[in-house]
């Protein structure tokens, strides 16, 4: 005890704290991304885009190789302005065809609610995981405290107050 001040032990396991921090950071980042996409989906207008061409390339992630396709095209907003860019959720089969999108200027998202708002679903799932971990941790601690007050005979000992 330095300087006569009692040192309390940490209330949370440091490894659990790190994982909760990483999870919280992911929730924040996906919430920010989701905010931009939600704004485009909610405030944007429904437009028809034309898929001009698609590029396929191989990506390596997690030691595995898979094909990734990115499609580009154009759409026009109600004011008649033509915009060019990536067309979300389009594939090789959509080349040359029209797709329905939600556009807010140069920003465009899928007209599908989940396709546009997936970052919010990810944020809510992460937030639910953090809350579940904290609730379970609290219940386990209460059970451990209750068990530590019992003696081997199964009777409950009174807890003395300091």
> pLDDT of 61-96, one tens digit each?
777 888 889 999 999 998 999 999 999 989 899 999
Residue 150 lies in a domain: no
User: What pLDDT is attached to residue 120?
Assistant: 77
In this predicted structure, the answer to whether residue 155 has a pLDDT above a threshold of 70 is no
Residue 94 lies in a domain: yes
Three-state SS at 158:
coil
pLDDT (tens digit, 9 = 90+) per residue, 117-151? Answer: 777 777 788 788 888 988 998 898 888 888 877 65
Residues 150, 156 contacting (CB under 8 angstroms): yes
Residue 7 lies in a domain: no
Residue 149 lies in a domain: no
Query: What are 111's two structure tokens?
Result: 């007209």
Query: What are 101's two structure tokens?
Result: 């999108």
pLDDT (tens digit, 9 = 90+) per residue, 16-55? Answer: 788 888 888 887 888 788 888 888 888 889 999 999 999 9
Residue 23 lies in a domain: yes
In this predicted structure, the answer to whether residue 8 has a pLDDT above a threshold of 70 is no
Residue 19 lies in a domain: yes
Residue 158 lies in a domain: no
At residue 82, φ and ψ (nearest 5 deg) are -95, 135
In this predicted structure, the answer to whether residue 154 has a pLDDT above a threshold of 80 is no
Q: Where residue 152 falls among pLDDT bands split at 50, 70, 90?
A: low
User: What pLDDT is attached to residue 123?
Assistant: 76
C-alpha closest to that of 36 among 133, 123, 120, 148: 120
User: What pLDDT is attached to residue 46?
Assistant: 93
Residue 32 lies in a domain: yes
Domain containing residue 96: 12-144
The C-alpha atoms of residue 30 and residue 48 are separated, in whole angstroms, by 27
Count of domains for the chain: 1
């Amino acid at each position: 005890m330095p300087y006569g001040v009692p040192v309390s032990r940490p209330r949370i396991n440091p490894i659990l704290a790190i994982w909760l921090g990483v999870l919280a950071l992911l929730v924040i980042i996906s919430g920010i991304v989701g905010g931009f996409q939600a704004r485009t989906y909610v405030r944007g207008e429904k437009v028809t885009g034309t898929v001009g061409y698609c590029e396929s390339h191989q990506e390596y992630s997690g030691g595995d190789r898979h094909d990734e396709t990115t499609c580009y095209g154009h759409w026009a907003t109600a004011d008649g302005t033509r915009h060019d860019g990536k067309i979300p959720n389009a594939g090789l089969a959509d080349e040359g065809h029209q797709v329905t999108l939600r556009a807010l200027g140069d920003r465009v998202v899928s007209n599908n609610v989940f396709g546009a708002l997936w970052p919010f679903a990810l944020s809510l799932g992460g937030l639910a995981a953090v809350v579940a971990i904290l609730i379970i941790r609290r219940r386990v601690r209460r059970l451990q405290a209750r068990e530590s007050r019992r003696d081997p005979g199964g009777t409950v000992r009174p807890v003395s107050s300091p």
